[in-house]
Amino acid sequence: MESLPISTRFGPDYTPKMVTAIAAATATIARLDARIIASPVAKPWAMRATWSGYARALQLQSAEVEEIDVFSWGCDLRIPGRPPLPSHLDLFDRFEEWRASLDDPDTLAWRDGLPTAIGDPAASAAHPPLVRALDTVRQLARIDHSIMPWLGLPFALRDRGLTASPLPCLAGGAKAFRLKPRPNDDDWLVMLRGLERAATIGLERLHSLERHYRDAQRTIAAEYRPGALPALLALIQYHPLLSPQSAAELLCMSIAGASKLIERAATTGLLVEITQRRSWRQFLTPDLAADFGYVRPKRGRPAKEPPPLPVNRDLAAVFDAFDSEMAAIDNLLVRKSDPS
């Protein structure tokens, strides 16, 4: 790094502020990647992260959409009071293609699909992997004016060895990458800090989802007759926004039965009502309800988590059954999203 000239034609100028931003973003991405590998909720987190990353990419395309709108679309529920999405164009026409690419086991597919005009100059070898990944996205954005360059950043980070697999919440970029032949240092700082912020939010949401998973286990273990409650709590992991009607359809039960289940989950704090109405009620997980402004975020020191439940054969069976419910929900949603 010290041998590089102060001004270079590749990447930013490596001022102390720039080096700090690169190091902070790289470290946060590494922490998120390490946690995902060992997390029991990696699959539901990935589903939520695809909606977050796609929302950020849409915003870079100047679409007037917020993250909650993409979550609403993903959960197939229109939230009352939210402005309708534009009807004259399909904002989500590339979503399924991107999601399929994220699950593609071929780690060379994205790189092989890049235009031949994109490449690394000889000088790039002396630059950090994060800068080289971002420059690949910059080159692609100059050629391809669709949403796909912004959705390609998780693959570029994976291909540079910064993550083990594409992390969809890290989709994004900077409009300057498309509009300017050579972005200035302020543009690079905005991009790097935005990437660090996205990784931090992804890590915080992973923590919240893991805690929700443990709270769901405690709730099931405390129920004398859990009935269909484990299935609902597994569904919440993947579909954090629910109504009695949508839960009834996905769980193949009556609306009245789904309403009772949702009330039980809300009573234990695993869901928050965001509509405050008697009919067509909607519920959201507490962490996302705070992120999206439906409830006030908790201030001060986080509440102490209850101690782990004692290990015994009966509880192990309960936990295994809950994991089986989550696997069944995952398979159900995969079948519903498969156009074939």
Q: What is the mean pLDDT of residues 218-234?
A: 85
| Look-up of token digits 């539901």 | 44
User: What is the structure's pLDDT at 278?
Assistant: 67
- List Cβ neighbours of 6 (8 Å cut-off, separation of 6 or more): 13, 14
DSSP characters for 275-324? S--SSS--EE-HHHHHHTTSSPPPPSSPPPPPPPPPP-HHHHHHHHHHHH
- 107 or 224: which leads in pLDDT: 107
Reduced to 3 states, what is the DSSP secondary structure of residue 216? helix
pLDDT at 106 over 80: yes
More confident residue, 278 or 324: 324
pLDDT bucket at 70, cuts 50 / 70 / 90: very high
Give the model's pLDDT for residue 295.
86
- For the stretch 4-23, pLDDT in tens is 444 446 889 999 999 999 99
Give domain limits for the chain.
Answer: 16-203, 208-337
pLDDT of residue 87: 73
Q: How far is CA 130 from CA 2, 124, 157, in A?
A: 17, 11, 7
Does residue 285 carry a pLDDT above 60? yes
Residue identified by tokens 């498309």 is 178
Q: What are phi and psi for residue 210, nearest 5 degrees?
A: -65, -40
Q: At 312, is the pLDDT very low, low, confident or very high (cuts 50, 70, 90)?
A: low
Each residue of 213-241: b (16+ CB within 10 Å) or e? bbbbbebbeeeeebebbbbbbbbbbbbbb
Sign of CA dihedral 82, 69, 36, 136: negative
Residue 323 has pLDDT above 80, yes or no: no
What value does the mean pLDDT of the chain take?
A: 88
Distance (Å, whole) CA 288 – CA 121? 43
Structure tokens at 165: 């697999």
Q: Which residue has the higher pLDDT, 13 or 122?
A: 13
DSSP code of 242? Answer: E
What confidence score (pLDDT) does residue 276 get?
76
Which architecture does CATH list for 208-337?
Orthogonal Bundle (1.10)
